[in-house]
Amino acid sequence: MSTGSELQTKGVRLFEGGKYDEAATVFTEAIAAYQSEDSPELSAEMQVNLGLTKREQGDFEGAVEMMQTGLAYFRENGVRLREAQALGNMALVYAKAGDHEQAQTMYREAAAIFRELGEDQFYGETILALGDMLFRAGKLQEALAIFEVGLERMQNKNQRQKVMKQLLILKNRIMGEERRQQISESENQGETDSHRRRRRSRRNKGTDE
């Protein structure tokens, strides 16, 4: 009889190979195996994995149900890192199901826990996922602000993220120049108005004399 660890490894391999029906069967077996081995935390992790598999099968309701079961264990037992990871995975399910509002809520909850735990890489990745969702929803300013925060926290950036970081730096530089130009124009306008007032004042004095 296979151990929970062996079944987990097999299930992950099947999942990564796109064999979701087989992966679901193996993850179900892994849940039972870990329970028999008195490893409830790992059993809960397999429930989340099964939820991810159901998401790929298009069974969004079943995916959320499995993940909520795993999430409940993590919360009840103070397993904060796995709780945040489960929330992030649930956000993926809601996003794929088209419930973007709930997905954003899950991402924000996950990000808050990652930040609390000092998990900067996970925090940055989660924030970027949230920013991408906001960007697709047309909330450009909010998305850009979130991208900036996420990229600032990430230590290991891929090439796309490095390019994004440089674009944000360029954007801030351009906006800074525009802001300084607006301030300069405002100051020049103020000086011009002041000169006009002084000239009018001198003319009025000459008329009075």
The architecture of the domain spanning 1-78 is: Alpha Horseshoe (1.25)
List, in order, residues 6 or more apart from 53 with CB less than 8 Å away. Answer: 11, 15, 20, 23, 24, 27, 63
pTM given for the model: 0.72
CA atoms within 13 A on the CB side of 100: 11
d(CA 121, CA 128): 11
Which residues, 6+ apart, have CB-to-CB distance to 41 below 8 Å? 73, 74, 77, 79, 82
The pLDDT, as a whole number, for residue 174 is: 47
Q: How would residue 166 be classed by pLDDT, with cut points 50, 70 and 90?
A: very low
- To the nearest whole number, what is the mean pLDDT of the chain? 81
Are residues 157 and 165 in contact, defined by beta-carbon separation less than 8 angstroms? Answer: yes
What confidence score (pLDDT) does residue 73 get?
A: 97
pLDDT digit string, tens, across residues 41-76: 999 999 999 999 999 999 999 999 999 999 999 999
- Cα separation, 158 vs 121, whole angstroms: 12
- Count the neighbouring beta carbons within 10 Å of the beta carbon of residue 204: 9
